[in-house]
Each structure stands twice: as structure tokens, then as C-alpha cells.
Structure 1
Amino acid sequence: MVRKYERLSGRQSWSEEDMAKAVAAVVSGKMGYKLAARTFHIPRSTLQRRASKVRYQLPDDAKPLMGQYRRVFTVDQEKDLVGYIKSMEKYFMGVSRRDIRELAFQYAEDNQLNHPFDVNSRMAGEDWVRNFLKRNPELLDKSDNEMGLEPVNFDQFYHFMCQFS
């Protein structure tokens, strides 16, 4: 598994601000496609596509995902997971990384989401939980060693919380 990914390609290395400036320059007629692409260091074909969407007022596509990995949960679903974890901590139930991995698997299964988690161990991967905690740094306030609480029956708590949401 890749622990620390370093991007090799130069695709989409331009910033959205530069693209917006270039599109504005082209649409207003101040620059042509070639000059704007060279000035703002962006691909001409991408600039043409974006400018035509602005000119003809077509909805802009969502930002494309780069690479082979896809998110399992939406932003709202991850907020739900963070809420479950915080409520467990609120009721003085220790939450370890293993508990978070089990919660993620169970949540994905209950919502019938397509996920790459291990079905045999019924847990999300170590990489997933590491990146999940990076995306949600408010969960890193307490380390597993500081909690020092008794282990919790995770399934029982999860179903208890599902009844109230």
C-alpha cells in the first residue's frame, strides 16, 4: 500500500484562480486563447472548454478526480462518522483507531456503499483511517493512550446512535 503518495504527472498543475483570470480575459475579448494560455500557464484546450461554458452558460463539471483512488464516503457521510465518534467520546467511551475502522466498515455496509474495505476482517484499512484523521484533525485531540477507558461494545453503541438519528 502507498503510505505517502507523490504525484508524478504534471496534469492539472494550474490553479483555479489563474484559470478564472484567463477565462475572464478571453470572454471579455482582451486576449485570444493562445495568448491567455501562455500568459497564465494553463492548457489551451482546457481554457477553450471552460470559456465556451461561460459564453454559453453551461453548468461547469465537478472537479475531476485524479488517480485511481476514489472516496468511499461523501462529505456529509464523513461528517456523520465524525459526529458518531464525538458522541462516543462525549459519553466517555474510548475510541481507538480500530474502532474507527470498524465503524467505517459498518457504516458503508449499512448504507450499501461500494467500498474497498476488507470483508473478512470487517474493518477499513489502516491507510483509510490515517487519511480520515488527517481530513478531520478535530478527532486527534486525544491520543489512544490518554483515553485509558474500558473498551466499548461498538455494535451496541452504533445501533443505539442509529435509533436517534
Structure 2
Amino acid sequence: MSGRQSWSEEDMAKAVAAVVSGKMGYKLAARTFHIPRSTLQRRASKIRYQLPDDPKPLMGHYRRVFTDNQEKDLVGYIKSMEKYFMGVSRRDIRELAFQYAEDNNLNHPFDVNSRMAGEDWVRNFLKRNPELLNKSEKEYELEPVNFDQFYHFMCQFS
């Protein structure tokens, strides 16, 4: 039987708290709480260097590009575009996500050459925001437009 993870999560939490607060170094905390120093370093650095509004990692090494608030802003913008007679396709959402990430100087994995988010990203975005899914499914269908309302809307901006 190996001695792997023979420590408790409670001891790890105490050690991480001691290191992050500056009361102990890694070596002393690892000895005091009987935990591996390398595991302590990894867990403490995740807490120490993560910004409060930083998107949380999802699975493995993949990270979310936008915070929850930023994603809500994107959803709101897409809904407002649909409200004002502008159909939004998946391609539009991909371009919008890229532009939003660029404008906010976010670290993103989107394709710089095509200036769009990936297909996987938009698929997962629509899964997280199912209220947009109905409109995006019908991206190639034309919806009837009330031209009087459209004209009134356009006159407001000129």
C-alpha cells in the first residue's frame, strides 16, 4: 500500500492558509501539517495568483474566456440585437465573442486570422445560455419584420 494522499484535505487547507497569509513558508508548512510540499505549492499558487474576477477553470487545462458577468453582457447584447430586428447567427456570435475579448484585452484561444471564436466555444456558449438557442437554431430562416417599427427605430439613430 502506498502513502499517496495520506494527508487530509483539512490539513491541506490549513497549510495553504498559513502559506498564503505569510505565516509560514512552503517547507515549514509541509513539515508541520505532514503534506507534500509540491502539492502545497501548487494549491497555494492557485489561490495566491488568481484574481477575484478571474474566470474559473472548467475541466483540465481549459479555462473559460469570459467571467459570468461578461458572459451575461454578451447574452444581453445578443438579445438586444435580436429585439431590434437583427438576426444573430452562430457566426455572428463567434465574431462578437472575438471582438469582445479583444476590446477587453482578455487572454483568449480564439483564431486571430479568422477573427472568430471556435465552433466548440459557440456550441458550449449556447448550451450555457439556452435562451439564445431557439434563435440560433433558426439562423437561416427569415422572420417577418414590422417595417413601421423598424423605420421608427432607425430614425432614432439618425
Compare relative contact order (CA 8 Å, sep 6+) and give the higher one, 1 or 2: 1
**Percent identity of equivalent pairs:** 92
- Given that 1:81 and 1:104 are in contact with CA atoms closer than 8 Å, whether structure 2 keeps it comes out as yes
Distance 2:6 2:38 in 1: 15
- Given that 2:81 and 2:88 are in contact with CA atoms closer than 8 Å, whether structure 1 keeps it comes out as yes
Give aligned pairs, total: 158
Tell me by how many angstroms 1:38 deviates.
24
Q: Deviations over 1:78-132 (max 9, x none)?
A: 0000001000000010100000000000000000000000000000000000000
The structure whose Rg is larger is 2
- Given that 2:95 and 2:116 are in contact with CA atoms closer than 8 Å, whether structure 1 keeps it comes out as yes
Shift in alpha-carbon separation, 1:12–1:130, aligned structure 2, 3 A = farther
Shift in alpha-carbon separation, 1:26–1:108, aligned structure 2, 3 A = closer
Distance 2:98 2:18 in 1: 48
Shift in alpha-carbon separation, 1:164–1:54, aligned structure 2, 3 A = same
- Given that 1:53 and 1:59 are in contact with CA atoms closer than 8 Å, whether structure 2 keeps it comes out as no
2:138 is paired with a residue of what secondary structure?
A: helix
1:47 is paired with a residue of what secondary structure?
A: helix
Q: Structure 2 residue aligned with 1:144, among 137, 142, 145? A: 137
Distance 1:124 1:154 in 2: 33
The residue correspondences of 1:15-164 to structure 2 (distance < 5 A) are 65-145=58-138, 148-149=141-142
Shift in alpha-carbon separation, 1:97–1:53, aligned structure 2, 3 A = closer
Structure 1 residue runs without a partner (length 5+)? 1-7
- Given that 2:56 and 2:64 are in contact with CA atoms closer than 8 Å, whether structure 1 keeps it comes out as no
Structure 2 residue runs without a partner (length 5+)? none
Tell me by how many angstroms 1:156 deviates.
20
Distance 2:3 2:130 in 1: 29
Shift in alpha-carbon separation, 1:30–1:74, aligned structure 2, 3 A = closer
Distance 1:18 1:158 in 2: 66
Shifted more, 92-101 versus 64-73: the winner is 64-73
- Given that 2:19 and 2:25 are in contact with CA atoms closer than 8 Å, whether structure 1 keeps it comes out as yes
Tell me by how many angstroms 1:141 deviates.
2.3
Distance 1:51 1:97 in 2: 39
RMSD: 8.1
Report the TM-score when normalising by structure 2.
0.54
- Given that 1:99 and 1:154 are in contact with CA atoms closer than 8 Å, whether structure 2 keeps it comes out as no
- Given that 1:89 and 1:95 are in contact with CA atoms closer than 8 Å, whether structure 2 keeps it comes out as yes
Report the TM-score when normalising by structure 1.
0.52
